[in-house]
Amino acid sequence: MDGAGGIQVVGVVGLGTMGAGIVEVFARGGLTVVATEVDEVALERGRSRITGSTDRAVARGKLSPGQRDELLARITFEVGMAGLGDVDLVIEAVPEQLDLKRKIFAALDAVCKPSAILATNTSSLSVTEISVATARPNRVIGMHFFNPAPIMKLIEVVRTVVTAPEVVAEIEGLCARLGKVDVTIGDRAGFIANALLFGYFNHAVAMYEGRYATREDIDAAMRLGCGLPMGPLALMDLIGLDTAYEILDTMYRRGGRDRRHAPVPLIKQMVTAGLLGRKSGRGFYTYEKPGSPKVVADDLTPTGEAADAPAGRPVYKIGVVGSGTMAAGIIEVFARSGYDVVSVTRGTEKSARLVERLRASLDKAVMRGKLAEAARAAAVTRLTWSAELDDLADVDLVVEAVVEELSVKKALFASLDEICKPGVLLATTTSSLPVIECAMATQRPRDVVGLHFFNPAQVMGLVEVVRTIRTSDDAVDTARMLARSLGKYPVVCADRSGFVVNALLFPYLNDAVRMLEASYASADDIDYAMKLGCGYPMGPFELLDVVGLDVSLAIQRELYLELREPGFAPTPLLEHLVTAGYLGRKVGRGFRDHAR
């Protein structure tokens, strides 16, 4: 084996969730593969994983039957590692346990030719500790694939302090030949992606365990609120709860004993009970059969009755207070869904600007074919513009979207309490303030809820319905029914800082900043890792620049103040950027320079 492209024959040890996918990647890339397992039963299971996956690719038209047959002909299946003497590279994908991996590497060292590169697919263990189980630590490297390996583009290449530069170059060349994108990084627990993901997973499980929201709602919140391909609980089912437990446990021990990585007890209980996720047919969800991606109903699935909220109070006419981005979006959503809307701003000038904004947005929707001309005209006739809160005396629901300042919101709720008729639902769109504070500014806290829309409200399919400890059931039902009537998915959650989405999203963004601050990886590499490894629509730094660094810092501060979790403390780098006026896209500069 010499120079880039010298790797022709590869071995794979362990054909589980990851190993089987990795074999497929290599065989698709034209390499000869020796696929090994611990015994005949596991070997057969691994073989059927690979044939199942390639058959599905044929069924979807991604592979011709001929290509599949050629691909499978490049693979030989063997029990044990004795047949790996001639391979140029071997990659290990056995369970995430250090002792086991060290044993496998010692055995590989004895069997493989001296020039062979030994790679581990570990997600969190120290590649250095694994490498010293061999007599060739300079030829040991991490190749961290993402699940499902044939689909996800990213490979994290992990070099230790002794990995030879030519070994790194060889593996980088191989990644390119396989059509993958690599980021090369040092040996740190969780590398890039898992270091950012697993705190978030664990937090999501804690929310579920604490009955803060249902599994369906937690997952829907992150899919619809952040555009993620999967919610955290469904993704943990795909990864495997046993693997997830081991990764968290290792990250806790290797990563400075951050409490956020201490596995939530429920995970261990589920693993002990054999609920490992998709591979065992049951995890957070129940699947058609072991290995199947198809979720089937179980006793936790909301029944038709619970899924369709009781009707709640009738709502025909809605007041919207505020003149910013969110108010404009919300007014449009209501009017397009057939509600009469009274918009109240602080003056005719503000109303005029709002009217203009709304017209432009409706025009765009018509131009793009998303809205019929007649529907636009009808929406416009449903709108009334006012500068007086008194005009809200006869509405059925008020949504306020004024500035994110508690004193302003409290004063507004006190006024609404005097003006509005009894039985009106009063809602705040706050994303970070306690809803109960708004509720207690009125004499009718039962009627106050949070209705947290996402920006742009016309597009995003999620509404968080926040119930305080004083909110009545029928107020919540009314809010849920209303969100459904807008074609949005309502997630009901308690009145805690960040609700579901921001509480899960912002600590992850803050962790990404911390990783950059520690000079572990560049902003580009971190963004790549999340987009190509996890299918995120934007990397954390892209997202921070869009959201605004000042807004992100304010949310992160609220989370920290309320939950007192040391890991949630805003990173100094984020604070400094905000102090320096680098607030993101809106000012032309944040983590990146957008001015050019």
Ligand X SMILES: NC(=O)c1ccc[n+]([C@@H]2O[C@H](COP(=O)([O-])OP(=O)(O)OC[C@H]3O[C@@H](n4cnc5c(N)ncnc54)[C@H](O)[C@@H]3O)[C@@H](O)[C@H]2O)c1
Residues known to be catalytic: 431, 452, 464, 502
Query: How crowded is the C-beta side of 69, counted as CA atoms within 13 Å?
Result: 3
Question: What is the spatial distance between Cα 84 and Cα 110, in angstroms, rounded to a whole number?
Answer: 10
Binding residues among 349-378 for ligand X as defined by CB under 6 A: none
Stretch that binds ligand X, among 67-75, 115-123, 338-346, 536-544 (CB under 6 A): 115-123
Measured distance CA(460)–CA(254) in Å, rounded: 38
Instruction: Please report, as a single letter, which amino acid is at residue 406.
Output: L
Nearest CB to ligand X, comparing residues 203 and 279 = 279
Nearer to ligand X, 99 or 373 (CB): 99
Beta carbons within 10 angstroms of residue 61's beta carbon: 7
Residue 152 or 344 with smaller CB distance to ligand X: 152
- Judged by CB under 6 A, the stretch of 7-15, 151-159, 370-378, 433-441 that binds ligand X is 7-15
Among the listed ranges 51-59, 91-99, 128-136, 461-469, the one in contact with ligand X (CB under 6 A) is: 91-99
Stretch that binds ligand X, among 13-21, 304-312, 349-357, 569-577 (CB under 6 A): 13-21
Q: Which amino acid is residue 152, in one-letter code?
A: M
Binding to ligand X, residues 440-459 (CB under 6 A) = none
Interface with ligand X (CB under 6 A), residue total: 28
Question: Which residue, 45 or 410, is less far from ligand X as judged by CB?
Answer: 45
Residue number of the CB closest to ligand X reads: 16
Nearest distance, CB of residue 22 and ligand X, angstroms: 9
Among 10, 11, 17, 448, binds ligand X (CB under 6 A): 17
Nearer to ligand X, 277 or 507 (CB): 277
User: Quick one: 64 or 272, whose CB is closer to ligand X?
Assistant: 272
Roughly what angle, to the nearest 10 degrees, separates helices 241-254 and 265-272? 140
Q: Is 413 exposed, middle or buried (0-12, 13-18, 19+ CB in 10 A)?
A: buried
Residue 550 near residue 583, CB atoms below 8 Å = yes
Task: Rule CB under 6 A: say whether 118 interacts with ligand X.
Answer: no
List, in order, residues 6 or more apart from 263 with CB less than 8 Å away: 202, 245, 248, 249, 252
Residue 538 CB, shortest distance to ligand X, in Å, is: 22
**Dihedral pair phi/psi, residue 548, rounded to 5°:** 105, 130
User: Which is nearest to 261 in space by CA: 327, 190, 311?
Assistant: 190
Residue with tokens 């030989």: 76
Q: Binding mask 27-66 vs ligand X (x if CB under 6 A, - otherwise)?
A: ---------xxx---x---x--------------------
Closest to 549 (Cα-Cα) out of 563, 570, 535: 570
Please identify, using beta-carbon distances, which residue of 80 and 548 lies nearer to ligand X. Answer: 80
267-286 positions binding ligand X, by CB under 6 A: 279
Q: How far is the CB of 262 from ligand X (least distance, A)?
A: 18
**Nearest of 22, 148, 45, 8 to residue 93 by alpha carbon:** 22
Looking at 126, 163, 184, 243, which residue binds ligand X (CB under 6 A)?
Answer: 243
Q: Specify the stretch interacting with ligand X by CB under 6 A; choose among 89-97, 316-324, 475-483, 537-545.
A: 89-97
Strand partners, 12: 35, 91
- Applying CB under 6 A, which of residues 54, 122, 128, 431 lies at the interface with ligand X? 122
**DSSP structure class, residue 488:** -
530 binds ligand X, rule: CB under 6 A? no
Instruction: Find the binder of ligand X among 11, 16, 540, 590 (CB under 6 A).
Output: 16
- Residue 108 as a binder of ligand X (CB under 6 A): the answer is no
18 binds ligand X (CB under 6 A): yes
| Vertex 485 angle, CA 483 and 491, to 5° | 25
Residue 266 C-beta: closest distance to ligand X, Å? 19
Residues 6+ apart with CB under 8 A from 385: 343, 345, 351, 354, 355
**Least Å from the CB of residue 277 to ligand X:** 9
Q: Least distance in Å: CB of 240 to ligand X?
A: 5
| Choice between 146 and 582, CB closer to ligand X | 146
Residue from the set 145, 198, 245, 385 that interacts with ligand X by CB under 6 A: 145
Closest CA relative to residue 193, chosen from 526, 523, 505: 526
Starting at the edge strand that comes first in sequence, how are the strands of the sheet with 397-400 ordered? 383-386, 340-344, 317-321, 397-400, 425-428, 448-453, 462-467, 489-494
The nearest distance, CB 127 to ligand X, in angstroms, is 11
93 binding ligand X? (CB under 6 A): yes
Could you say whether residue 15 binds ligand X (CB under 6 A)? yes
Q: Based on CB atoms, which residue is closest to ligand X, 37 or 437?
A: 37
Task: DSSP for 526-557, please give it.
Answer: HHHIIIIIH--SS-HHHHHHHH-HHHHHHHHH
Residues 213-242, mask of contacts with ligand X (x by CB under 6 A): --------------------------xx--
Handedness of CA 390, 393, 395, 399 (dihedral sign): positive
Q: What is the 3-state secondary structure (H, E, C) of 359-381?
A: HHHHHHHHHCCCCCHHHHHHHHH
Q: Is 131 in the site for ligand X (CB under 6 A)?
A: no
Comparing CB distances to ligand X, the nearer of 124 and 468 is: 124
The span from the CA of 42 to the CA of 2, in Å, is 34
State the minimum distance, in angstroms, from the CB of residue 205 to ligand X.
16
Among 7, 11, 19, 335, binds ligand X (CB under 6 A): 19
- What is the contact surface with ligand X in residues (CB under 6 A)? 13-19, 36-38, 42, 46, 93-96, 104, 121-123, 144-145, 147, 239-240, 243, 247, 279
